[in-house]
């Protein structure tokens, strides 16, 4: 039976660094470095310049992943794009990336399907499971899976919004999922969701159930109330569910593969909050040398965190061929997932 493995990784973050002190100095937010670090572990994040969307950040990450896989763009059979911050309500970001990759141009144009995944922080793992299943079934040979976010345009960068706005940054990560006959690659995965908590972490912006779906003033101009425009989060509920679901789904995939924590060489946790990840790590008895973090430098890049971690770990030599990797994420929805991989 064919297997699916990650043949290439890539990443990109915008050059602009925004430190915790910058949030106070440049935006007037009543916060400070120590307050943010104590609660989240975040020291800085990246912000994209105006005019850039997630497909713009995804492009260099995708090109790097293709190069590292030794493939051309025309070798791709599918694009899976995970993001909560697409350029528009519709169409999705995947078709914009397809066009920017040049797949629609010239005599060798290849109009591959582009699937958008809207599972927020769990989006990359949902996309990875989809790509792996497509490759293993024979429906595709090479699938590009991207997680990319431009959060900075939709953050309440004021004291009112500091609890949420201090968490998020912009970035992109990409992997190529390819077919192989070798005994390696993506192993067991588990995905889940609990819609009872859908409103505990959300950014509603507009409500399609209403007429009109955005309130209008006398001139017909849409006006969005702050509680609809900006992300809202019940931090205590999110923290409690995150640690429970991440620990639970990790144990489920390890049990399904017949392995224990000691068999895992590297753990890649979604980078939402360093304190959540440390809590999970401590309760599962995972040593520090088996865990990689980058939230200190990038903040929460949502769907991009895990592919960013994979690309950085591989580039630094921390992630090597033959290692067993565990990936796990939890996010809005609530949604969660875990994936084991023999690198």
Averages of pLDDT over runs of 10 residues in the chain (343 residues) are 95 98 94 94 98 98 98 98 96 98 94 97 98 97 98 94 94 98 97 97 94 92 91 94 96 96 96 94 94 97 98 97 98 97 98
CATH code for the domain of 83:
3.40.47.10
Active site residues: 121, 270, 300
54 and 169 housed in the same domain: yes
CB 263, CB 324: distance < 8 Å = yes
pTM: 0.96
pLDDT value of residue 1: 73
pLDDT value of residue 255: 96
190 and 144 housed in the same domain: no
Cβ atoms within 10 A of the Cβ of 153, count? 13
3-state helix, strand, coil in the chain (%, to 5): 40, 25, 35
Kindly state the tokens that stand for 10: 């890539």
Angle formed by the axes of helices 93-100 and 54-69, nearest 10°: 60
122 and 93 housed in the same domain: yes
Q: Does residue 255 form part of some domain?
A: yes
Kindly state the tokens that stand for 322: 């033959």
**Which helix (H) or strand (E) covers residue 232, if one does?**
strand 232-233
Q: Does residue 278 form part of some domain?
A: yes
Helices then strands, counting H and E runs in the chain, come out as 11, 14
CA distance 169 to 294: 12
If one counts the domains in the chain, the total is 2
245 and 165 housed in the same domain: no
Kindly state the tokens that stand for 315: 């580039």
CA distance 60 to 161: 31
170 and 280 housed in the same domain: no
Domain that holds residue 118: 3-181
Q: Which residues pair with 189 in a beta bridge?
A: 339
- How big is the CA angle at 290 (ends 284 and 293), to the nearest 5 degrees? 95
CA distance 329 to 338: 7
CA distance 62 to 10: 6
Widest pairwise Cα distance in the chain: 65
42 and 119 housed in the same domain: yes
Enumerate residues 6+ apart whose C-beta is below 8 A from 267: 281, 286, 290, 291, 292, 325, 326, 327, 328
Eight-state DSSP code of residue 324 = E
92 and 193 housed in the same domain: no
């Amino acid at each position: 039976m064919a297997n699916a493995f990650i043949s290439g990784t890539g990443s990109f973050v915008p050059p602009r660094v925004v430190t915790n002190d910058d949030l106070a100095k440049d935006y007037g937010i009543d916060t400070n470095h120590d307050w943010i670090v104590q609660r989240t572990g975040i020291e800085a994040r990246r912000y994209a310049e105006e005019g850039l969307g997630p497909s713009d950040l995804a492009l260099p990450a995708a090109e790097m992943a293709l190069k590292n896989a030794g493939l051309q763009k025309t070798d791709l059979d599918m694009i899976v794009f995970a993001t909560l911050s697409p350029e528009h309500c519709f169409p999705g970001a995947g078709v914009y990336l397809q066009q920017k990759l040049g797949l629609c141009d010239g005599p060798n144009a290849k109009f591959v399907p582009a699937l958008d995944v809207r599972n927020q922080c769990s989006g990359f793992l949902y996309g990875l499971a989809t790509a792996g299943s497509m490759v293993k079934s024979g429906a595709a040979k090479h699938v590009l899976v991207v997680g990319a976010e431009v959060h900075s345009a939709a953050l309440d960068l004021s004291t009112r919004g500091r609890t949420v706005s201090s968490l998020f940054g912009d970035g992109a990560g990409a992997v190529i999922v390819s077919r192989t006959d070798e005994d390696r690659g993506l192993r067991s995965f588990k995905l889940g969701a609990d819609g009872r908590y859908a409103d505990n972490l959300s950014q509603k912006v507009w409500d399609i159930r209403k007429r009109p779906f955005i309130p209008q003033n006398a001139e017909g101009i849409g006006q969005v109330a702050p509680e609809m425009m900006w992300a809202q989060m019940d931090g205590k509920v999110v923290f409690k569910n995150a640690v429970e679901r991440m620990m639970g789904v990790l144990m489920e995939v390890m049990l399904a593969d017949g392995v224990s924590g000691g068999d895992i060489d590297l753990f890649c946790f979604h980078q939402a909050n360093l304190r959540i990840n440390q809590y999970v790590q401590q309760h599962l008895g995972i040593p520090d040398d088996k865990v990689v973090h980058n939230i200190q430098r990038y903040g929460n890049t949502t769907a991009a965190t895990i592919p960013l971690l994979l690309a950085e770990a591989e580039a630094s030599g921390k992630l090597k061929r033959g290692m067993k990797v565990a990936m796990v994420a939890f996010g809005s929805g609530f949604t969660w997932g875990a994936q084991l991989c023999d690198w």
